[in-house]
Amino acid sequence: MDAMLHALAYFVQPKFVLLCGLGSIAGLFVGSIPGLSVSMATALLVSVTYTWPVNDALATVMGVYVVGVFSGALSAILLNIPGAPASVVTTLDGYPLAKRGEAYKALKYAAVYSFVGSVFGLAALALLAKPIAAIALRFQPMDYFLLALFGLATVGGLTAGSFSKGLVSATFGLFFSMIGMDSVLGTPRLTFGVRSLNAGISTVPALVGLFGFAEVLSVVSAGQLDAEANSITRQTVKIRDMLRELRHSLYYSLIGVVVGALPGAGGPVAAFLAYSQAKRIVKQPSRPFGEGAVEGIVASESANNACIGGALIPMLTLAVPGDAVTAIILSVFYVHGLRPGPMFLTTGAESFYAILGGGFIGCVFLLLLGLLVAPRLSGILNVPGTFLMPIVGLLCVVGAYACNNRLFDVGLMLFFGVLGFLMRARGYPVAPMTLAIVLGGMMDANLRRAISLASSADSRLSALFGRPITMVLLALTLFSVVGGIPPVRRALNRRKETKAANE
Amino acid sequence: MDNNGKKSLLRNADCQDAVFVGLCSAALLVYSLYHHANDRNTGEWKTSPYLFPVLISAFGILLALSLLADALRDTRAAGETADAVERGARPNLTGTLAFVAASAAYCLLMPVLRFVPATVLFLGALFVCLGERKWRRVLLLSVVAAGAVYALFGLALNVRLP
C-alpha cells in the first residue's frame, strides 16, 4: 500500500507526467506500426536517455512500454498484422470484427481491457515485490547462478519452436557477455587483441542491433513494405456492455501476471492461455470465438498487458528479467549505476516507485490515447515501409552511437543487426541471446564466487547445493532443461495424448 | 544412409547450423584451455576467467549434437523423395544486402562528410533502393528527415552526433 501511495505521488510531478506522456505517444506509434516493436523503441530510448536523470528515463521508458504493448492491438485489428507478438491472439477476433465494420468497437474494448490488465499487473508488482525480495535476501551466489540459468533455460525452451535453437541463442549470448575485462581478476578475456573490446560488448548497441536493425532487415527482406488498413466508422459502445467482461478480465489478468513473471513466457503465451480459458468459461460469447467475439479481445488484451507488471517482478527483485523489454529496462538500470535485486527496494526505493508511478501514469495515457487517438490512426498505419525503414535504420545508427560516442559501437550494432536477421531467418529467437548478454556477467561472477566459497568447506557438494532454496532452484533448472530435450518432450506429449484419449 | 540421404542431410539447415555451432564451441574450448594454461594471471580453475567459457563451449558442443539429431530426424521424416530444404517465399536479398552496405558506408562517410550531409545521402540512397522513383519526393524526405533527426537528437535531446 505504501508503494502505491509513493507511486501516486508522481501524478503531481509535471515533468514526470510530461515525459511519461511523450513516451506513451511514442509507444502508441511504435507499437502500432508493424515492423517497429516496443523492444526496439526501448532499446533506442536507452541510448537517448543515457545522460538523463534516472527517473526521467524511467518515466519515458514506462510510457513506451505500457502503451506500446497495447498499441500492438491496433494493427492486429485494422491490418490483421499484430504490431507486437503479444497481440497475435487479438487478430483472431479483432480483425473479423473490423471486417464487419466494427473496428471502433474492437479498439474500444482493446483499450479498456488493456488498461484493466496493466493496472492489475502493476498493482500485483506493488504488492508482491516486497515479499519476493524478502525471500531473495536469503539467496547465495549459487542461487543467483541457478536462477539466471533457469531463466535462460525457460526462455530458450519457450521462445523457439526448437528447444536446441533457443539454447543455442542463449549460449551465443553468454559468449558475447564474456568478452571484455574480467570482473574478478581484471584481465582482458576473449578480446582477440581488439582494444575496443576491452570494455566489453556494450549492451545498448547489441540490443539496438538485435531488435531494431534486425527487424528492419527482416521487413526489407520479406518485402512487407506496404499495407492497407481497414477504415474506421464511429459507433456507440455502451459502457455498461463494455464492463460486463470486467470479472473475467481480472481472471485473465491474473494469468498474465503469473505467466509474465516466468522468464521467457511473456505476452504471447499469456494471451493464448487466457484465450483458451475464455473459450472455456464464456458460455455465450457475443459472436463465436474467431469470428469477432469481443470476449476474445478482452482475454488477449487483459492478459498481455498484465504481463508488464508480472515481468517486472523478477526483474526488480531478482535481477532476472521476465522478457526482452524488461531485459532492456534492466540495462537502463545498469547504465544509470543502479543494481536491481533483493536489496533494490531498500537501496533504490525511489526508482522502484518511479517505475510504478510511470506505469500507472502510462495506464492513464493508454486509456486516453486508446479511446481518443487510436481510432484516428488508420492513416498512419498506411505509411509505406519504403520511407519508414530507412528512417528506423538511421535511428538505430544514431542510438548506437549516442551511448558511448564511438563509431565502433555503430559497427557492433550492424554486426548484431545482421546476426539477429540471420538468426530470425533460420528460426533462432533473439530474446534468449538478449537475456544472456544482460545476465552473463552476473552468472559468471556468481558461479566463480560460489565455487571459491565451497572450496574451503568440508563437503563441497553440500556447500554448493545443500541449502533448500538451492535444491529447489536446481530441481527447477534441471526440470526445465531435461523437460525440453526433444525425446523427453515427445515422450511426455505421447503420455498426455494417451491420457486424453483414455478419458 | 544412401547418397541422396547424405546430400539432403547436408542441405538441411539444422545440420549446417550444427556444424557451425560445433566448430565455434570447439574453437572456444581450445582457446579457453590454451589461455588458462598459458596466461600468468589466471590461477586456479575456481577463479579462472576461462572457467565459464569452458562450460559454455562444452554446452555448445552438446547443443550441436542436439541440432544434428534434429536434422537427422527431419531428414528421415522427409523421406527419400522429399526435398529436405525448406522453401518459403523468396526473400528480397538484394534489398537487404543494399541496406547493410548503405549502413556500413554511412558509418564510414559520417566522420568525413559530417552528420547531416551523410544522412541525406544515406536516406536518399535507401529510398531509391527500396523502390521510390520520384526524385523530388526522395530529396525532400531525405533533407527533412535528416534535419528533423539532427534537430531532435542533436539540439533538443543534446545527444552527441558524429
In chain A, domain spans? 2-502
A171:B162 CB<8 A: no
B67:A220 CB<8 A: no
Q: Measured between CA atoms, how close is B3 to chain A, in angstroms?
A: 25
A213:B130 CB<8 A: no
A291, pLDDT greater than 60: yes
Mean pLDDT of the residues in chain B: 82
The DSSP string of A46-89 is HHHGGGS-HHHHHHHHHHHHHHHHHHHHHHHHHHSS-SSGGGHH
B51:A448 CB<8 A: yes
Q: Does A276 touch chain B (CB under 8 A)?
A: no
In chain B, domain spans? 3-78, 93-156
Q: What is the pLDDT of residues A161-198, one digit of tens each?
A: 677 888 899 899 999 999 988 877 788 888 888 888 88
* Burial of A191 (C-beta count, 10 Å sphere; 0-12/13-18/19+): middle
Q: Does B150 touch chain A (CB under 8 A)?
A: no
Q: What is the pLDDT of residues A411-466, one digit of tens each?
A: 999 999 999 999 988 888 887 888 788 788 888 888 888 888 888 878 888 888 88
**For residue A275, what are the contacts with CB-CB under 8 A and spacing of at least 6?**
A89, A92, A289, A296, A299, A300, A303
Alpha helix stretches (DSSP H) within A100-162: 103-136, 141-159
Q: Does A290 touch chain B (CB under 8 A)?
A: no
H or E element, residue A400: helix A385-404
**Mean pLDDT, range B1-12, rounded to an integer:** 64
A225, pLDDT greater than 70: no
B49:A189 CB<8 A: yes
Q: Which of B49, B95, B158 sits opposite A185 (nearest CB)?
A: B49
A222:B92 CB<8 A: yes
B56:A174 CB<8 A: yes
Q: Which of A225, A411, A426 sits opposite B13 (nearest CB)?
A: A426
Q: Measured between CA atoms, how close is A448 to chain B, in angstroms?
A: 6
Per CB-CB distance under 8 Å, the chain B contacts of A391 are 123, 145, 149
Give A21's pLDDT tier (boundaries 50, 70, 90): very high
Q: SS3 for A228? A: coil
Q: Measured between CA atoms, how close is A166 to chain B, in angstroms?
A: 10
Q: Which residues pair with A180 in a beta bridge?
A: A189
CA distance A498 to A440: 41
pLDDT at A115: 94
Q: Which of A91, A112, A121, A111 is nearest to A296 (CA)?
A: A91
Q: Does A500 touch chain B (CB under 8 A)?
A: no
Q: Does A455 touch chain B (CB under 8 A)?
A: yes
Q: Does A453 touch chain B (CB under 8 A)?
A: no
* Burial of B128 (C-beta count, 10 Å sphere; 0-12/13-18/19+): middle
Q: Are A179 and A197 in contact (CB under 8 A)?
A: yes
pLDDT at A503: 65
B126:A447 CB<8 A: no
Q: Which amino acid, residue A467?
A: R
Q: Measured between CA atoms, how close is A472 to chain B, in angstroms?
A: 22
CA distance A135 to A239: 42
CA distance A379 to A374: 11
ipTM above 0.85, yes or no: yes
Residue A305 has which C-alpha cell? 498487458
Per CB-CB distance under 8 Å, the chain A contacts of B96 are 217, 220-221, 421
Q: Which of B13, B55, B149 sits opposite A394 (nearest CB)?
A: B149
- CA A266 to centroid of chain Cα atoms: 6
Q: Which of A291, A251, A288, A292 is nearest to A273 (CA)?
A: A251
Interface size between A and B, measured as CB pairs under 8 A: 159
Q: Does A4 touch chain B (CB under 8 A)?
A: no
Q: What is the pLDDT of residues B24-70, one digit of tens each?
A: 999 999 999 998 888 776 678 877 888 899 999 999 999 899 888 88
A187:B149 CB<8 A: no
B70:A389 CB<8 A: no
pLDDT at B81: 46
B103, pLDDT greater than 70: yes
User: How many Cβ atoms from other residues are within 10 Å of residue A165's Cβ?
Assistant: 25
> Is the whole model's pTM more than 0.90, yes or no?
no
